[in-house]
Amino acid sequence: MKTITLNEQTIGLKNYYYARFEFDREIYNRFRKLDGSIWDKQEHCWVVDRSYLNYSDLLEQFGDLAELKIIHERLESVEYRRKRLKPIDLLPPLQPEFEEVIHAFARSMRSDRYSTNTVKTYVDSLRTFIRFVQPKDLKEISEEDVILFNNEYILSNNYSASFQNQVVNAIRLFYGRIYHHKMNLDLIHRPRREKVLPNVLSKEEVKQLLNSTINLKHRLMLSVIYACGMRRSELLNLKPADILSDRGLIHIRQSKGKKDRVVPLSPKLLEQLRDYYRIYRPQVWIFEGDVPGHPYGARSIQLVLKRALDRSGIKKPVTLHWLRHSYATHLLESGTDLRYIQELLGHNSSKTTEIYTHVTNRSIREIQSPFDNL
């Protein structure tokens, strides 16, 4: 019979069990379904909130599968443990009666054809807010509750302004759809929009990054993102039929904002795609994972970039989106009209594209310093 070891820990005013066991699929799945248990990635164990589940509850859940052994030992200081738990882990688990209303909200968004990522983002934001305000009746939630959540959860935990806006938008949409109640956003503190310049690599750095990628598939994925200014999701959703080789174009379908667009296909990139296709023979998606017919994983391509950065020696905190920014900036520096760049990137507003004028070397280098005229 297997053993589940329960380490007792106190964090702040709350008590937890840190449950460890030799891996067993049935035990793992039961922990997943338990309200009051969360997976700690750093400790590689389940953390059980003892205000929801005591020893007797765990014995009832797992007594048929394993022996439960409690260990009384001090593992780490409360301060250190608090740093390792995310703020959301310190919120009480979502009460079951709120699950259905969240599912109804998700169904409503899906019926209006919101993207999968947007539905998940809004639902996760709403779930966090409800965990904060529960057990208060959701129909009685007011703007004051949102302000309290903003001050005591978002600001006190130093979450970003974009996350703050995201949560407020999710709450506003939820109450408008489910309870037909419009939140007065004038009463809710909204952060000023941050004016952050896009991060850009030089052409030499892009070349260095691509040349350090040994695997053909990995190098081609990064090359397509840069050569076409694609988003990660757009790359992973490409199918062979989207490569319009006779026209020298790539058809990007239903990307952000449910829009289609076409981008130029470099002859050099086309030859690389043909070499790749002869070797890998993708079935459904151009870039597939280990399982044929299934798209390459979003997390996996991030790891591809990380390994390429390690080998290239580039010390900047590069993300995949930097390649898209670099594409736009290098086009602008080579003299491409800003209106065309807007179309190639799929921007709704020219103001979004104009931000690249602030980082292009050509524009800045043409400015003469008054120091030279002294």
In a domain, 76, yes or no: yes
If asked whether residues 352 and 236 sit together in one domain, one would say yes
Per the annotation, the verdict on 347 as an active-site residue is yes
pLDDT of residue 265: 92
If asked whether residues 125 and 214 sit together in one domain, one would say no
In a domain, 198, yes or no: no
Could you give the CA distance from residue 143 to residue 259 in angstroms, rounded to a whole number?
34
Q: Read off the amino acid at residue 231.
A: R
pLDDT of residue 78: 45
Q: Which helix or strand (DSSP H or E) is residue 62 part of? A: helix 55-62
Catalytic, out of 219, 324, 325, 330: 324
Per the annotation, the verdict on 356 as an active-site residue is yes
pLDDT of residue 82: 47
Could you give the CA distance from residue 352 to residue 32 in angstroms, rounded to a whole number?
42
If asked whether residues 136 and 227 sit together in one domain, one would say no
If asked whether residues 217 and 348 sit together in one domain, one would say yes
Q: What is the CATH number of the domain that holds 323?
A: 1.10.443.10
Q: Which of 85, 109, 133 is the last residue of a domain?
A: 85
What is the mean pLDDT of each successive set of 10 residues along the chain, which is 374 residues long?
86 76 88 82 82 82 89 52 62 83 90 85 90 86 86 84 86 87 69 70 92 92 94 93 92 85 92 93 91 87 90 90 92 87 87 77 61 57
Per the annotation, the verdict on 122 as an active-site residue is no
pLDDT of residue 77: 44
If asked whether residues 172 and 307 sit together in one domain, one would say no
Catalytic, out of 131, 256, 261, 311: 256
Per the annotation, the verdict on 256 as an active-site residue is yes
Per the annotation, the verdict on 330 as an active-site residue is no
pTM of the full structure: 0.62
Catalytic, out of 69, 120, 203, 321: 321
If asked whether residues 81 and 106 sit together in one domain, one would say no
In a domain, 246, yes or no: yes
- Beta strand 14-21 with 2-11 is antiparallel
pLDDT of residue 222: 95
If asked whether residues 73 and 100 sit together in one domain, one would say no
Residues 6+ apart with CB under 8 A from 53: 17, 34, 35, 36, 37, 61
Catalytic, out of 16, 153, 296, 356: 356
Per the annotation, the verdict on 306 as an active-site residue is no
Q: What is the CATH number of the domain that holds 120?
A: 1.10.150.130
Catalytic, out of 131, 217, 231, 251: 231
pLDDT of residue 366: 64
Range of the domain at 335: 203-363
Number of independent structural domains in the chain: 3
If asked whether residues 63 and 149 sit together in one domain, one would say no
Report the side by side order of strands in the sheet with 243-244.
243-244, 249-252, 261-264
